[in-house]
Amino acid sequence: MILVHAEPPVYYLNPQHVAFPDPLQGAGDEPIAIGGSLLPHWLLHAYRSGIFPWFSEDGLPYWYSPDPRMILPLTELSISRSTRKFLRRSTWEIRFDTHFIQIISQCANTLRPGQKGTWISEDFIDAYSRLHDMGYGHCVGVYENGLLIGGLYGLSLGKVFFGESMFSQRDNASKTAMIALVKHLRAWGFDFVDCQIPSEHLKHLGAQEVSRRQYFRLLEQSLEEVDRVGKWNVICHASELITGL
């Protein structure tokens, strides 16, 4: 590692040596490092260290560890009355780990307020697709009459799901994907979803901001558990989701 900016500290990472700086020393809203690689061993080490790549520029990943951090404790999931009513009447189907590349590509193509382009470039799609092939990357898709209309993707380590992005082509589609994810993560004994960056959409579902230090304490505890590696074979219907929630 080479220090390239002193205040706040930002390091250049040698792609030949997997190593990250102490994220607690970095600024909460700036990258802590630039460089390295998006190869699977780099990504897995980063997430276990509370760090994630936000985008790449000129082939160099930019690594972040935000402060505050947004998480969704699974016991804090909040579903409004209107959403419960919608789900009871819905005919949508939810499938896990189906059409991963289509879902991440749809996330990349989704226009978002305040963003001119997408941070999910081809190198990110390739990198997370490799993690999916290895059983660490996962997706949740929402289907209407067999057509993919919404979903999300991320990766799983220990008892944490690290959410990366979501998309929606119908009202409530991405929300339905998140509710389905949380319902099954709870059944599997997971602790929380790492939502990374504060979002009003996720706050309405019960997500909350925690300090970086608090996040690291929670992460350390959850990573003590065994990884749930492999394909998540789940097919369910939206009308079933609110049972038990």
Query: What confidence score (pLDDT) does residue 116 get?
Result: 46
Across residues 75-90, what is the average pLDDT?
Answer: 97
pLDDT digits (tens, 9 = 90+) for 131-164: 999 999 999 999 999 999 999 999 999 999 999 9
Query: What confidence score (pLDDT) does residue 113 get?
Result: 54
Task: Spell out the alpha helix ranges (H) of 90-210.
Answer: 100-109, 122-134, 173-187, 200-203
Residues in CB range of 70: below 8 A, 6 or more apart: 194, 195, 196, 197, 198, 199, 202, 203, 207, 208, 209, 210
pLDDT digits (tens, 9 = 90+) for 193-206: 999 999 898 999 99
Tokens of 31: 């990258």
List domains and CATH numbers for the chain. 2-64 (3.30.70.3550), 69-240 (3.40.630.70)
Q: Give the integer Cα–Cα distance in Å for 42 and 54.
A: 14
pTM of the model: 0.95
Q: Which position has the token pair 């997500």? A: 207
Q: Could you give the percent of the chain with pLDDT greater than 90? A: 84
Query: What confidence score (pLDDT) does residue 117 get?
Result: 45
Across residues 213-222, what is the average pLDDT?
Answer: 98
Report the candidate in 151, 165, 152 with the shortest Cα–Cα distance to residue 52.
Answer: 165
